[in-house]
Chain A
Amino acid sequence: MYTCGIDVGSVSTKVVILGKKDNKIASYIIIPTGSDSKNAAIKALDNSLKKAGLADNEIEATVATGYGRINIPFADQNITEISCHARGAISLFPDLKIVIDIGGQDSKVIKLKDGKPIDFLMNDKCAAGTGRFLEVMARAMEINLEQFAPIFIKTNDKVNITSTCTVFAESEIVSLIGQGIDKNKIIKGLIYSIADKITSMVGRVGLDEPVCMAGGVAKNLGVVKALEENLGIKINIPDEPQITGALGAAYLAQNLH
């Protein structure tokens, strides 16, 4: 039998189907959430079942997480991203003490003790410090988001981005470009502005190693490197950081029956 974890985020919906006996991922899928989170969840589940070659009656239990977690008709329970990310990250890095999750809409830092969350902080009041911030800035600079990491690595200097609001930061960047400032330095500054916000959140819960980073932004090696530099540590990144919450949800679904 299998369990299913579904993470309905603001940008993407992730499904993980997990083998109950062997704890192996039978399939996973990431699709855009779009405007209808319920339909996205149904579609993601269908696709992942197809990918795994399973029928829906082979799924013993389903846990939903993410901002759209309460609206999933086929879920047996909804559990917050805090517990799900913690559980998913622990399954990958058993001695973990901190999980940093930067998603499309929010960022969170979760502190763990003996594999269980004991404290957390969330930033969901403003888009600065989230994946959305990087997307908006990439668009403003007419640069592909994938180019951010190589630019970060090869550029030595940075320009400080002083605006904390995404909208004002966008205007500030347009103005910096207008002044003829090197785009690469601006990109490096943008990445540091996210890393600095997360660093202060880590400071508030108390830095402890090992640290893992999950969520879509963990795929941006520039942000990872800036964070590593700020915190003075090495950060563990899952092979597919975006599915950590869904993976945790699938593990937590194992406790339901």
Chain B
Amino acid sequence: MCIKDKLKTRVQRNLNQKYIRRLLNIIAKKPVLYAYGSTFSSLSDKYLNIFTIESLRNAYSNNNHPIGYGSLFLPYEMFHALGITPFLPEVMAGFTAGLGLATQTLKEASSNWYSQDLCTFHRSASGAVELDVFPKPDFVITTNLACDAAQKSFYIHSVKYNIEKNFYLIDVPYEYSKESILYLTGQIKNICMDISSKSGMKLDTSKFKEVINLSNEFRKWAIKVNNLRKTLTNYPPYYNGLNFILPFHGLAGTREAVILYNQMYKELKKYLDKEEKEKSGKNKSPKRILWLHLKPYYKNEIFNILERENCRVVFEEINYIYWPELDPERPFESLAKKMLSHFLSGRIDNRINVILKAAREYKVDGAILFSHWGCRQSNGGARIIKDSLNKLNIPTLVLDGDCVDQNNSSQGQVKTRLQGFVEILNS
């Protein structure tokens, strides 16, 4: 059994906050962390894992920094400017799946009246909150952007920790307009001011500017990575574009995100150069796949099957850079524009336009929409997305499954659907 599996088993056996804190404190100590980092085959993979561990260690350590629970579509630049350590329960729910803890967290959620119909990202996170596995937050911030479940489950978390007064809901208007920008700017500013006065962490203008500049730097490298991928077909074996949710969201505005995306660019560029050199035309070109929504975060065969069937995921919708460059002189307004620019905000056309643009730019042969159980915001558009892609002669597989609960689909059924879809692409 390798060290990663041993750690997994230990956490499964000792699922409590104290043990996780102790473990993170040991792992995050520099010599151990570097030794752990050396087990990864590339620098970007190493950075991804180390930054994740450090971010978790910060959230679990009882230092003086306030902890803020945040939902996925928030502008995390505000957390970093305020000196709040972000903790993303939805992302952590993905980790519960990867660590084999979801059975316990989902069971706990079920015992506490969380509906079986609720998305398992929220159900598993709620179960972890009920089990007292997550660090205690000082603030809970969420938004109604895209996800309906977040605003409800996050409020329940604030009640659980008796901090309802520190619960904030950012209401993102449906349309992108001057009035919407003003309305949203006001909300973000007020929330920042309120948190600042409650936490005693001063909202420093120069710190905010620095965070915004770092966010722009991360954005620049992320765009470069995305542009590079338009021509890249073969990827390093460790690379999966669906693994970067934490840095893409939670680390936006930090130096870590810049380092990670810069390194990712360098590594993928090396791969592209190698690919250019080795172009012999002997090998059959792989089918290029556009991946829509998320993936299962427990051990599964999906990407191995695609690899075996000579298919490559060449782009993931979630990595699309949807927001304009932020203005360091107008941080609140910039973050409001960032939120309003999200393609999941407003009409389904916004999402379809992004999907069709990606389908054209990445010259995809097919698209797979992973239909995560209970995710209305994504699955509700499945039909119109499929029809829109079909107009470009791009076959689309709507693959039913669950990102967190492995008991909600069978590997055999997934395999038949994927294999059948690839047969259609090859026919």
Contacts and interface: CB of A to CB of B under 8 A. Distances in A.
Interface of A: 67, 79-83, 116-120, 122, 124-125, 204
B413 interface: yes
A119 B412 CA distance: 19
Contacts of A204: 383
B381 interface: no
Interface string B405-418: 00001101100110
5 contacts: A80-B420, A82-B423, A83-B424, A119-B424, A124-B413
B89 interface: no
Contact of B417 (A83, A118, A122): A122
A80 B413 contact: no
B427 interface: yes
Contacts, number: 40
A117 B427 contact: yes
A83 B309 CA distance: 15
B377 interface: no
Nearest to A70: B415
A124 B413 CA distance: 7
Interface in B368-427: 383, 395, 400, 409-410, 412-413, 416-417, 419-420, 423-424, 427
Contacts of A116: 424, 427
A96 to B, nearest CB: 15
Contact of A122 (B395, B416, B424, B427): B416
- Which of B409, B412, B427 has the most A CB atoms < 10 Å from its CB? B427
Contacts of B410: 124
Contacts of B419: 79-80
Given A122-B413, A122-B416, A122-B417, A83 B423 contact: yes
A80 B416 contact: yes
A82 B415 CA distance: 12
A45 to B, nearest CB: 22
Contacts of B424: 82-83, 116-120
A119 B395 CA distance: 7
Nearest to B417: A122
Contacts of B395: 118-119
A67 B423 contact: no
For the complex of A and B, the 10 pairs showing the least CB-CB separation, nearest first, are A82-B420, A80-B420, A83-B423, A116-B427, A80-B419, A124-B413, A80-B416, A117-B424, A120-B420, A80-B423
Contacts of A120: 420, 424
A81 B416 CA distance: 8
Contacts of B420: 80-83, 117, 120
A93 B419 CA distance: 25
B304 to A, nearest CB: 14
A234 to B, nearest CB: 27
B309 to A, nearest CB: 11
A124 B420 CA distance: 14
Interface string B319-330: 000000000000
A89 B407 CA distance: 34
- Which of B410, B419, B420, B427 has the most A CB atoms < 10 Å from its CB? B420
Nearest to B398: A121
Nearest to B420: A82
B427 A83 contact: yes
A7 to B, nearest CB: 13
Contacts of A83: 420, 423-424, 427
Contacts of B416: 67, 80-82, 122, 124
